[in-house]
Amino acid sequence: MSDPPIAIIGAGPAGLMAAEIVSAAGRRVVVYERMPSVGRKFLMAGRGGLNLTHAEPLDAFLARYGAARARLAPMIDAFTPADLIAWCEGLGQETFVGSSGRMFPKSMKASPLLRAWLVRLSAQGVEIATRATWRGWNDVGELVFDGAPPLAPNATLLALGGASWPKLGSDGAWQTALAARGVDLTPFRPANVGFEVAWSEHLRARFAGSPLKNIALRFDGHHTRGELMISRHGIEGGGVYALAAPIRDAIARNGPSTLYVDLRPDLATAEIVAKLSRAKAGDTLASTLRKALGLSPLVISLLHENGPPPRDPHSLAVLIKAAPIKLIAASGLDRAISTAGGVSWSAVDERLELKAMPGVFVAGEMLDWEAPTGGYLLQACFASGAWAARAILKRASALAASPSPC
């Protein structure tokens, strides 16, 4: 009789990468996915161009993971951005590096890559059961599902994602089953998320959906260049997401917090003062800002959000270099690109095996880490899936080598 299969629950990047590595070693793998098809969040990530990873030096790359750096570093060292790109090109998908250092497949889509990947997995004998919702374990320790029979696997990898984009499959419902088994969990928090702002009705009605480009953002010692999008209820966009973690945590500690926007980051304050000082005496403030600095109607409206802007060149220049936006709260989990929280690092060992449940491993966004957009999210999901897969294979080999009980 053949050995029981390795069960992988969750068919996103972490789960499918683990399935590839384990099946390539000759082990039978069954992947369970509660949605009707696999990789739905992966496909959504590719809608605007599939940002797989980033080309920056590895030390700077690892710094993007903040408090989780020490735990994730060995995994990313073992499956680097260069390894991820080589894997992608091995599936026939050429890649390129964008001007910002972000790395993409030339197709700019996830669907061709996913199709080629599924062909490889099928050739390696990977079985995929869709519409199979995992419900935990029964009294004899079998995995139980809605839509699939119970299973007593050789080992289990949980790769069910965090709690963002629930309509695509990641709803965090797995917490109930793990909490019942005594697994330490950290509450979910939104990551790569926008924030609520009490805009004036004028700004909201006229500029919702408009971007602020070529700006710099500053919050409590953190700086970034990027852009933000004005929404009806606040701000979103890549520049905001890069600072989302410290802003979110500050609001949780202290309540509403202020983000400062440099509306002309390529000009020093003195240069702005000089340009404003040359304005014609009869010009309106809006005309001066438009003619002297090329500021858009949106930027001019933003400068009015906290009352009439000062007219003297120096005070106005200071405001332009640090326009305040009061952030009331982070948007909810349902509007977040990713999440922090999940399975606590204290609950898993260095192999990503649950300390409370030998033979059960965890990978991907189920673990308590976060990173900004820019390729860091996918890189850590792929790398942690590969790491857990290798640990499962080592465990299986060790069990096979152990003497059978008499």
CA 136/CA 256 separation, integer angstroms: 39
Residue 403 has pLDDT above 70, yes or no: no
pLDDT in tens, 296-309: 999 999 999 999 99
User: Could you read off the pLDDT of 20-47 as tens digits, one per residue?
Assistant: 999 999 999 999 999 999 999 999 887 7
Of residues 398 and 91, which shows the higher confidence score? 91
What does the pLDDT average to over 233-240?
Answer: 94
Interval 179-183 mean pLDDT: 96
- DSSP, residue by residue, 53-84: EE-S-HHHHHHTTGGGHHHHHHHHHHS-HHHH
Q: What is the pLDDT of residue 1?
A: 42
Mean pLDDT of all residues in 81-85: 98
At 279 the pLDDT is 86
Please return the burial class of 326, using the count of CB atoms within 10 Å of its CB with bins 0-12, 13-18 and 19+. Answer: middle
Q: Please compute the mean of the pLDDT values over residues 353-373 and round it to a whole number.
A: 97
Indicate the pLDDT class of residue 312, thresholds 50, 70 and 90.
Answer: very high
**Exposed e or buried b per residue across 103-141, where buried means at least 16 C-beta atoms within 10 angstroms of its C-beta:** bbbeeebbebbbeebbeebeebebebbeebbbeebeeee
CA 334 – CA 168 distance, rounded (Å) = 11
Q: Does residue 218 carry a pLDDT above 50?
A: yes
In one-letter notation, the amino acid at residue 288 is: T
For the chain, what are the domain ranges?
6-191+339-401, 195-330
Mean pLDDT across 186-191:
95
pLDDT at 406: 45
pLDDT bracket for residue 370 (50, 70, 90): very high
127 backbone dihedrals φ, ψ, rounded to 5°: -95, 135
The model's confidence at residue 169, banded by pLDDT at 50, 70 and 90, is confident
Judging by DSSP bridges, how do beta strands 222-230 and 234-236 pair with one another?
Answer: antiparallel
Q: 329-330 and 234-236 as β-strands: parallel, antiparallel, unpaired?
A: unpaired
Which residue from 335, 363, 38, 331 is spatially nearest to 164, judged by alpha carbons?
335
Residue 270: both structure tokens together:
């003195």
Does 402 have pLDDT greater than 80? no
Structure tokens at 378: 């996918």
Q: pLDDT averaged over the chain? A: 95
Whole-number pLDDT of residue 280: 86
Point out the least confidently predicted range of 50-54, 156-160, 223-227, 353-357. Answer: 223-227
Q: Which CATH class is domain 6-191+339-401?
A: alpha beta
Q: Is the pLDDT of residue 153 over 60?
A: yes
pLDDT for the residue 404: 57
Cα–Cα distance list, 148 to 14, 23, 128, 134 (Å): 21, 21, 11, 9
Alpha helices in 25-133, H assignment, sequence order: 40-45, 58-63, 69-78, 81-90, 111-123
